[in-house]
Amino acid sequence: MQNSNSVFARLLSDDIVEFENLGYTEAASLLSRYPRFRIHHDDDDELGYEQYIRISDGVLLRLVDVDILRDNRVSVCTLGGYVSCIFHLGGGSQITEEDGSEYQTVEGTCSITYYPEDRALEDFCRGGVKYVLVEVLIRWERLLEDFFNGDPATMPHLLRSTCMAEDIGTVLALPLSAELHQCLKTLTSTDFSGALRERFLEAKCAELVCLTMGLLQRRERGSSRRPLQERDMEQLDKVRSALVGDLSVPPSLDELASNLGMTRGTLSERFKQYYGLSIREYLLRERMEEAKSLLAREDLHINQVAWQLGYEHACNFVTAFRRQFGLTPNAYRKLELKS
């Protein structure tokens, strides 16, 4: 049966092939036979869906929305020759390579990976979390030709050197930008069907690849200044947690800088270098995302939503929301209630 709580419920159409409880290593063999299919995982360890859609020749879309019921260690198989852009929307995991090396995936980030050949990995997830990701896979040659006019010199250096040297593993993990968040939200909430949905998914996958390449390019430009150290990133993660801990009364820039022993300018520069957004832009994005959740509650007046998000005057909240999404909070609420 379909998981009614699926983030991708609108993409789980009833006219595609469905398999029950196949392992995560089975997908590679199915891709040669089915342009679209989904695997329903339903056992003591997990409940949810893994779905694959062939967007075009050399481009695939993978969607995973699984409730992890208890600590779960599974084998997964990468697709060789594909650059993979993985957007982690919920939960995280620990990936173990064949050589024993490990890395973490974290909610709210994008991982860019490349493997020249199919490779088995081990994926460990903690129980009690909802594991959600969107993955766009594109053949290395297709990426080079379609997005960089066949000129490797115009590609982000790290990606170019990895793919051309056929190195193995994660190229980089980056915090999701506001533009990526919005694109992913639009992708998962589509109500298109038939040919319209196919064209829509093709366009959104191309947009996700473009935005990810842009993230890589900005990171490389930023690294020409002062490379962030591990301690810097730990401090910036604390700043982020402090910002979103209570959106009604977030700490000021002065408070954040003082707590870390930094100047305002240094903190602002490093935060944007790490997250791709200024502190103000990041806070606005988080407030607007939370606003959409609060507006889903019919018992909350617009004034109450504004107050919970730290806006003293509701008119300022309405203006910010309309700027971000192109419609007022009331209009957004009406649309959501109809869907």
Residue 117 token pair? 């050949």
Q: Cβ neighbours of residue 331 under 8 Å, at least 6 residues apart? A: none
Determine contact, residues 155/148, Cβ cutoff 8 Å. Answer: yes
Q: How far is CA 250 from CA 178, 236, 239, 244, 283, in A?
A: 19, 15, 10, 7, 9
Beta strand 93-96 pairing with 119-125: antiparallel
Q: How confident is the model at residue 330 (pLDDT cuts 50, 70, 90)?
A: very high
Residue 297 token pair? 């509650």
Local structure of 207: helix, strand or coil: helix
Q: How far is CA 43 from CA 21, 27, 64, 93, in A?
A: 8, 18, 16, 19
Residues in the chain: 339
pTM (2 d.p.)? 0.67
In the predicted structure, residue 32 carries a pLDDT above the cut 90? no
Which CATH number, 3.40.50.720, 3.30.300.130, 1.10.10.60, 3.10.20.30, labels domain 230-338?
Answer: 1.10.10.60
Q: What is the pLDDT of residue 174?
A: 83
- Rounded to whole angstroms, how far apart are CA atoms 138 and 141? 8
Give the CATH H-level superfamily of domain 9-222: Jelly Rolls (2.60.120.10)
Residue with tokens 């996958």: 205
**Closest CA relative to residue 68, chosen from 50, 89, 91:** 91
Sheet containing 102-105, strands listed edge to edge, beginning at the edge strand earlier in sequence: 72-78, 119-125, 93-96, 102-105
Determine contact, residues 135/209, Cβ cutoff 8 Å. Answer: no
Sorted by where each begins, the domain ranges of the chain are 9-222, 230-338
Q: How confident is the model at residue 294 (pLDDT cuts 50, 70, 90)?
A: very high
**Closest CA relative to residue 274, chosen from 161, 177, 194, 162:** 177
- Rounded to whole angstroms, how far apart are CA atoms 12 and 191? 11
Q: How confident is the model at residue 12 (pLDDT cuts 50, 70, 90)?
A: low
Residue 67 token pair? 């409730």
- pLDDT tens column, 200-229: 999 999 999 999 999 888 877 765 556 677
- pLDDT tens column, 233-281: 888 889 999 998 999 999 998 899 888 888 887 888 888 878 877 888 8
Number of Cβ within a 10 Å radius of residue 277: 18
Q: Cβ neighbours of residue 148 under 8 Å, at least 6 residues apart? A: 154, 155
**Closest CA relative to residue 113, chosen from 122, 124, 103:** 103
- pLDDT tens column, 105-153: 888 889 898 888 888 889 999 899 999 999 999 999 999 999 999 988 8
Residue with tokens 């056992």: 43
